[in-house]
Structure 1
């Protein structure tokens, strides 16, 4: 009996599996507060710094809290803050780049010079300065990184828009009586969306690490909030005595960022014809 061949190409098959794993990660993180084995905020000093065991798979921290439960619940703050951040900079940067590339002239010069100002500073250093001014908290950390991260989307959207607006079908839409808004959203945006989506997928891991970095420096999530960067910061002095307390959230960051990067690379292979030749 001849076994049926896989109906999906290898690259697309890989992308589907990565998408499935990403969706599973989101679902596990979203539902974590309802099924974690212990209250992630319940302190019990009698259980402080217990090594990993069957009851506490990742051990306990200095306050006797279950590290496994805190890592799972902390994924909500870390992952969904990164998603919100990418959504903000994707929307803001794409809109700015579309209008800049389509209309040109003074609007184009203003938006590009504004982006030059933000790109002139080292990104994370500028984010630290903005977060320091705004104060602690994940909301302020997201805003700080959004301020310095939108220009790359604006420049990519602008470069794509400059090319696509010269195409005959754009001129045909203009001659048929379509308004500028209709042309931008019905014809221009769908034509340039693929590289922007690939960039946003690759950016998820980067933004997650940068948010964790701000929390590690005390400029993001504040204790006792369960957030991976903040958990690593509060436990960094125990790396030699109780390494599981800092290694567990570090491993969570590593696995999540690796998954997002693999997904971004796979999407690029599928959506970019230069990487996916026929």
Structure 2
């Protein structure tokens, strides 16, 4: 078995009582350093805390391996927390899973351009009661001239079991190298259920009738309102590494989720 060797460790703790209590028990497990000085990070909390930590690293353009311990609810991106365990042994034996985020370039109606990363998905959502109308292009070719819907999203395999799945999108195996393009409550074209695309694809959403039908773009938890166009691609240059206990890896969970009922 390969053994991981990590040097300096950072401890990132969710502001919940359960996470803080667990952090007290782990204080003597390592000589913890700040996140920006660490070679790997241990995250205590739920999926939200894990996503927040990953986004901190993406914003800082410094990405290190991350091992999560679930002290939240679902904990899809986390490992099981037990009262007594050898943290260093679990880190040494952990399985490394590489994931890459989406890079969103959003152009607003005022002409401003913003760039955000999304680990789960980028969603375009109507801002008012009016149905959104969106043109969808893949690799510079228009595929849907006008989608009338509450919105549309593009999901990574990591996010395919989250909002994408709730919108009736497909679950993607982690090593599939695919993206899920999924409409949200579509009205027209009525029979279009979405598409599965190679992750080398470049996807563009263009908002139609924006004055009457304004649309917001959401990259995971960050929102940009009144967008005109959104350009998306996988950012391989920002590849991240998640650490999972043997037998509890994310790709195993993605397979298992397809048999949940």
**TM-score normalised by structure 2 residue count:** 0.25
Q: When you count strand as a share of all residues, which structure comes out higher?
A: 2
**TM-score normalised by structure 1 residue count:** 0.24
Q: When you count helix as a share of all residues, which structure comes out higher?
A: 1
* Structure with larger Rg: 1
